[in-house]
Amino acid sequence: MTDRLGADRRSAAQPLRSGSRMRAVWSSIALATGMLVAGTATASPAVDGTRNLSLGNVSRGSSYGTNAVLANPSNMGFSGTFAIEPLYQMQLRSRTSGVGIVVMDSLNNARVSLGLGYLFMRGRPQLRYTEPSTAEDRDFELSRFGHEALVAISVSIIKQWLAVGVKPKYQYASLRYRDNTGAARNAAEKLSAFGLDASLTANLAGFAALAVVGTNLTGNNDPAFTDETDVTLEETDVDTTNMRYTSLSELSEYPLGMAWGVSIFPLRRTDFSINADGYYDFSSFRFEKATRQVYGGSAEFVAGPVPLRFGTTWDSRGKGKKDDRVFVSGGVAYVRPAPVGGVGVDVGFGFSQQVTGPLRDTVIGFNLGLRIHPDL
């Protein structure tokens, strides 16, 4: 599906024990990097990955490397990669920042690929209400917090043709506020649970890929508010009778979901891919017995070392059409593959912009990744 160089390679000039020592060195570097970033992070468990964000998250069939860890773990083994990638993402409307670190390895074993990740978010969404005595609008700030630790495992059932993946993870999310005395209180029920994603990818001779992904099969939660229930605000001056959710998302942090992805590679190389995805969220609008549906298309073309990425998605929000949204996305990167025994880089920028629907939103993301190819 992508470059297979190194997936089955062992250097004849070095014994296996030397290769194992080299692997231990790279693993130590990855661990140290992860500890450094985690110790200073303020990030989001919903970090998409820069490539995924640039393609509007319409990338499940063509994902690779660290982006496969986040979007479709069964895709990790289709390309030989050892990568360490710090990520940053910001959602402007909810004033939420996210940082993550993802490490993945599909070079060491021809059939089994591994990924590790830590994601962390901190946000300051606001509510707006009208002060009854003055008829003036006022904003009330909330604190959105969460983190996620994950392990992704992919097994190639038929090499370069069929693979399965699972991603067990620990996920925590909270929404809090300070009351009139300064004490912290919960505005919605906390989530602290072990979650699980599972996926399957079939690669059709390098010309097309079909993927199915189940998200948050365990550890899913309901949104902080719905049309029928509000967030809990006790011991505050907020008039909840005319409260508006100006920047707090109506979606679940970790919805139970299912997605499919179809990717076509006209040149039979991943330098050029055309993608179509669908996603079904069973949690966010469960209160009205509706399933949120998201459909989109995207394309990526790699011009030398520069991938160019574009995507668009349509997002339904419950019953009716008034809350539907359309997003456009794009991004650019500079990628230098790692030579055998050397280090390469992957630097990228991506964005997603809502163009129709209420409460227009913008998301931007960056990554600075190392591609490593130990001479085993």
pLDDT, one tens digit per residue, over 293-309 is 999 999 999 999 999 99
The answer to the question of residue 6 being in a domain is no
The answer to the question of residue 336 being in a domain is no
Q: How many helices (H) and strands (E) does the chain have?
A: 3, 17
DSSP conformation letters of 283-312: STTGGGT--EEEEEEEEEEEETTEEEEEEE
Residue 328: which of 316, 312, 314 has the closest Cα? 312
**Residue ranges making up the domain that contains 300:** 16-330+342-373
The answer to the question of residue 23 being in a domain is yes
Confidence of residue 22 (pLDDT cuts 50, 70, 90): very low
CATH number at residue 155: 2.40.160.60
**Residue length, the chain?**
376
Q: The dihedral of CA 38, 41, 45, 46: what is its sign?
A: negative
What tokens were used for 368? Answer: 């600075």
What tokens were used for 303? Answer: 């011009």
The answer to the question of residue 335 being in a domain is no
Measured CA to CA in angstroms, residue 180 lies from 103, 238, 362 at distances of 43, 10, 32
Q: Percentage of residues in the chain with pLDDT exceeding 90?
A: 76
DSSP conformation letters of 64-97: -HHHHHHH-GGGGGGS--EEEEEEEEEETTTTEE
**Residues 214, 167: Cα–Cα separation, whole Å:** 10
The answer to the question of residue 1 being in a domain is no
pLDDT tens digits along 204-218: 989 999 999 999 999
pLDDT tens digits along 197-206: 999 999 998 9
Number of domains in the chain: 1
pLDDT, residue 10, reads 29
**Mean pLDDT confidence for 103-112:** 93
Stated pTM of the model = 0.85
On the question of pLDDT at 91 being above 50, the answer is yes
**Residues 125, 120: Cα–Cα separation, whole Å:** 16
The answer to the question of residue 363 being in a domain is yes
Measured CA to CA in angstroms, residue 214 lies from 7, 69, 199, 217, 275 at distances of 27, 14, 6, 6, 18
DSSP conformation letters of 227-285: SS-PPP--SS---GGG-B-SSS-SS-SS--EEEEEEEE-TTSSTTEEEEEEEEEESSTT
Highest mean pLDDT among 10-14, 45-49, 186-190: 186-190
Q: Does an H or E element contain 21, and which?
A: helix 16-40
The answer to the question of residue 337 being in a domain is no
pLDDT, residue 240, reads 85
The answer to the question of residue 224 being in a domain is yes
**Residues 167, 198: Cα–Cα separation, whole Å:** 6
